Structure 1
Amino acid sequence: MTTAPAVKTNNIEEQAKKARKAAKTLSILTTEEKNEALHTVAAALETGYESILAANMADLKNGKEKGFEEAYMDRLSLSKERVYEFAAGLRQVAELPDPVGDVMSEWTLDNGLKVEEVRVPLGVIGMIYEARPNVTADAAGLALKSGNAIILKGGSSALNSNQAIVEIIHAALGKTKIPKEAVQFIATADREATKKLFTMKEYIDVLIPRGGASLIKAVVENATVPVLETGVGNCHIYVDKEADAEKAIKILVNAKTDRPAVCNAAETLIVHEVWLNQHKDLLAQALKKHGITVHGDVAAAKALPDVVPAGENDWANEYLSLDLAVKTVDSLEKAIDHIDRYGTKHSEAIITENGETAKKFMQLTDAAALYHNASTRFTDGGALGFGAEIGISTQKLHARGPMGLPALTTRKYLMSGNGQIR
């Protein structure tokens, strides 16, 4: 079994210092220079895919020995095709508009002082994530394009894969205007290293956790560095009494089964009792056809076959599997109340042909993304036209929803005068 190298926390501080210095250089590079670097890294990943796959085999061996679940192993597993997808993603980021330097607004005061509100990089991003080696390349590309240095702390289960990817990125950046120190990788499984990242406010401008609920909770509760919180997805589909049956079932099946282990998959069906009584046979057939296990309340158990009685945990559970909680209600208000209590403010959908009901749902439901007669699976940077994302924010300050390049910037006010004094 591969053993992760030990990294002292003072070494992590040195890495953070290097990232801070590199961020200064990176912040003034032109769009063309950043794009050229991303294309260079993309080509290097394709050329070096064999070394990445060899490292990944070591991670998979470790995972098998530790008895990781099949879905977890699938997220961890790489192939030539997946590595080429990393490269394609970097080229896609290179084609996106560069937000840095955008003048968001401008005006001139009565005294002639000119004011500009301009987008600038955040500075240094700390990225803490779990067993998804693709995040290493994706996050690095998004950070560099938006003018930010990044410190990567991936999960221990993907340590070898991540290290191989970063080594290729560093070698490629050595041929570009971007300093290789702009991408730092903490090559250890030591939790003390993660804790150190939580508190390095003098070097790190923002932390972005990406992973399961326990990881996100640990970062949010323990960090003194500002956190851009990417939330778990306990997403709901509310089927109203005036929902079209064919449309409702098509959307539900897509939201639950397209990729069950992602954060924008539906975990709970809230269904109006009138609709359920009218269409229970059609719903039951669809659930059985797609192998969906229902965890339902008493009314759901009476209407549908083979229902597992739902407990309190089922309403709050992010299953990430072909399990579905089913809650029956007799009004829109009760559906919204249920979402308010158990939702994670990620993505929520209503299926109805009543426009006023849909409008009320959209106005009163608190979530980053809301859908009327569409699947929650569209809460994704690529699907919504962002090109790429570093995560999906469920908080309300700075950024909310899929976080593309603009979310990795902040603003400066630039004043230009001719001797004005106050």
Structure 2
Amino acid sequence: MKKTWRWFGKKDKITLSMLRQISVEGIVTALHNIPNGEVWDLESILDLKQYIEDAGLEWSVVESLPVSEAIKYAGSNRDKLIDNYIVSLENLGKAGIKTVCYNFMPVIDWIRTDLNYKWEDGTSSLFFDKIKFAYFDCMILKRNNAENNYTEEELKKVYALDKTITQEEKDALIDTIIVKTQGFINGNIKEGDQNPVAIFKSLLALYDGIGRNTLRENMKYFLERIMPVCEKYGINMCVHPDDPPYQMLGLPRIVTSEEDIEWILKAVDNPHNGLTFCAGSLSSGCQNDVPKLAQKFASRTRFIHLRSTEILEGGNFIEAPHLEGRGHLIDLVRIFEKEDTSLPMRVDHGRLMLDDEKNGYNPGYSFYGRMYALAQMDGVIETVKNEIKENII
């Protein structure tokens, strides 16, 4: 596997020279300054590519070239936005960048309720608390019929929480769910926006009446439109699984399971329509056997996120250590190394440790925590390579 690292551009506090020193080979990044739906011009792409190469690295993967909401819900300007997307892909192809990670999650990207959940050893990680999320959904967002998505026992806990939660805790929950985890990745809501809850509710309303089948057909339409330019330039589109991989907030989610992935790959059966195999996202759904999915979809996997989660009682889940949890990352390395030794992978959602917390890194994207995880995975990869060489596996 090629060891890559998600980097947020020239203003990232983690510099490319730092990454060279810890054995990173490729960079995963995007033109984060360009608003969703606008064209990525060739000059800007080449400028960033050259900046990365001057540091002795390569731009291995685009993550992400965002898919605008109107493409997902089929708004009146869908075709214009897809036209812009095609031009951006064409410019990436001209620049020689061949792998594009994207997602098709409506409104909201990855969802957590705690960004600094403390472990006994003093480190911290991302955490999803279902009752806190239900509280946000029912009592803060006040989504119509939200209570129907939760059990009676869960709602009792929500109402009990309502009696003790402080305004400061409510504000932190809003900030975590719809601002901090979204804004730095070309999200619909960013730091400093006034009344983010109202903005969020207006975005949810765009999907009124849109179910899973409609969203699937909209995704198929999008993929069919962009495949010709992908074929022309050899660009691999790699859809990222939904995180977490189940229905939330009344929104349809369509990349949650084996059946979903199979539908997408067959609906547009083109080798350039591929998968980002995110072990963390997939492992947070109890329906998913992650090694089994890796084995089944290895031939259409174009990019790998190596992280793991552990599902806890009550529907909670936590980012697990990279050598533990339901992601079974050692098994995945064995599967993917046998499939293609050049696949780009990046470790993901490292813990906050040592000086990470005081440096203000983007949530899930610590330096020391990810460096530690990269070292673990580097050792696993080298061990697996030796196993393959010695015909042990």
TM-score, L = length of structure 2:
0.30
TM-score (norm 1): 0.29
Give the structure with higher Rg (CA): 1
Higher strand residue share: 1
